[in-house]
A and B are shown apart, each in its own frame.
Chain A
Amino acid sequence: MNLCKMLRSEGGRVLWEALTPSVSTSLHAPVRSFHCQISQNFAAHPTGFGNWDKKITVPGGSKPLSWPGYNERVHPPTGEYRPAYICHVRDNIKYSPKKMWYVANFVKGLSVDEAIKQLTFLHTKGAVVAKEVIEEAVELAVKEHNVEFRSNLWVAESFATKAMVIKGYRKHARGRFGKIKYKYMHYFVRLEEGQPPKDFYDHQEKFDPDRML
């Protein structure tokens, strides 16, 4: 199935617009709120639709990732409020993604100042990494992405994925060997402009009996 060819046709474009959900750009949207229209003029590279669809290598990193490309997206001016967002990533960190899961979830839904403050007193390696990445993202936001106030940002998305795994061996008794995995991870962060929502997680919501009915 050649999806590209299908989508290039007029019928495909209608289908695409029907399938992609329209955006509710509220501050309470922890999911990526992207709405991009496919233009008829295509970019030079065959695997995407524009410069923002290319994989970019973050300065200081080694792997081309598509996450920083979201910063290059240009949204059509429909008039509805859309808060600024900044996607930042650090790749190939020597840490386990499973361990980083706890730190990444800890930081979600907090304002950037609160996140940095809390991470300063969380004595794990993942906390150091997360703090540096968030600080870098704040700098980028202010310098490159036209964010007015550096405190007016909150962590909308924060997650870690598996990167390369280097395998090694260790000796056991009686001539036996055990496999060791040296795990690496990528840490992704998306900051959004504005105040954080008070009920980012379900358990933070207050119990409303009327809503339950």
Chain B
Amino acid sequence: LTSTRDMAMFRAVCNIVDNTISNVISRWGGFHHNLAIANYPHIAHRQQDDSWLKDSIFWTTPRNRRTLEKRWKRRFGAPNWGVHFGPRINKKIRVDHKTGEYFEIGKLAPVTYKKVMDETRKIQQRMADSFGVGVPKDQETLVLYKGEEKGGMKGHVVEMEHERPSFFSQNLLQKEYGKPGGSQETVRPSGLG
């Protein structure tokens, strides 16, 4: 049990501490003296409370730091735990055994299909030139090489200056399904050989 004298001394010390801290904080924080009074009305009443603890000290400082491991995992990934950043091994790559070229499944290999791609470019250029500028491209188009005839086909004709290449057969130009209005029977390829 503490005596009343000790209690008084203790209270005095607390008040001194209280006042000095509030003075220091008011200097740092720039609290207006009126504001201080408005905020701390109870100081005048000299209650034994620790308002300077509640309002002035910033209690929510970061105290728990992310560990190095956590920081690394967020930045670099952790494949052991299924978190992976960065490129993955591409399993769609195949090899063309004739040219030795690598290509992706679903995409054309540039070296292997070079001649097809070149021919396509030529036809596209020719088409663009034949249609002209500002003309709507809403007609059926037929590509004719040297020495070929139009036949009964109606529509726009694109004539090429060279002969038909061997890899571009007439069969490719036939439609897959049957005639419109007719039954969906298989279309036998014609013009082969």
A residues with CB within 8 A of B: 101-103, 105-106, 117-118, 120-122, 124, 201-203
Contacts and interface: CB of A to CB of B under 8 A. Distances in A.
A103 B93 contact: no
A117 B93 contact: yes
Nearest to A203: B79
Contacts of A117: 93, 102
B89 interface: yes
Contact of A122 (B76, B85, B87, B102): B87
Interface in B58-110: 76, 79-80, 85-87, 89-90, 93, 102, 104
B86 A118 contact: no
B-side binding surface: helix, strand, loop or mixed?
Answer: mixed
A79 to B, nearest CB: 38
B80 A118 contact: no
Interface of B: 76, 79-80, 85-87, 89-90, 93, 102, 104
Contact of A118 (B76, B79, B85, B89): B89
A38 B23 CA distance: 69
B102 A102 contact: no
Contacts of A203: 79-80
A102 B86 contact: yes
Contacts of A122: 87, 90
Which interface residue of A103, A201, A202, A203 has the most chain B CB atoms within 10 A?
Answer: A203
Given A201-B79, A203-B79, A203-B80, A121 B93 contact: yes
Contact of B86 (A105, A121, A202): A105
B79 A102 contact: no
A202 B80 CA distance: 7
A201 B84 CA distance: 13
Contacts of A121: 90, 93, 102, 104
A117 B104 CA distance: 11
A138 B145 CA distance: 48
B121 to A, nearest CB: 23
A106 B102 contact: no
Contacts of B90: 118, 121-122
Contacts of B85: 102
Contacts of B80: 202-203
A134 to B, nearest CB: 15
Contacts of B104: 121
A3 to B, nearest CB: 30
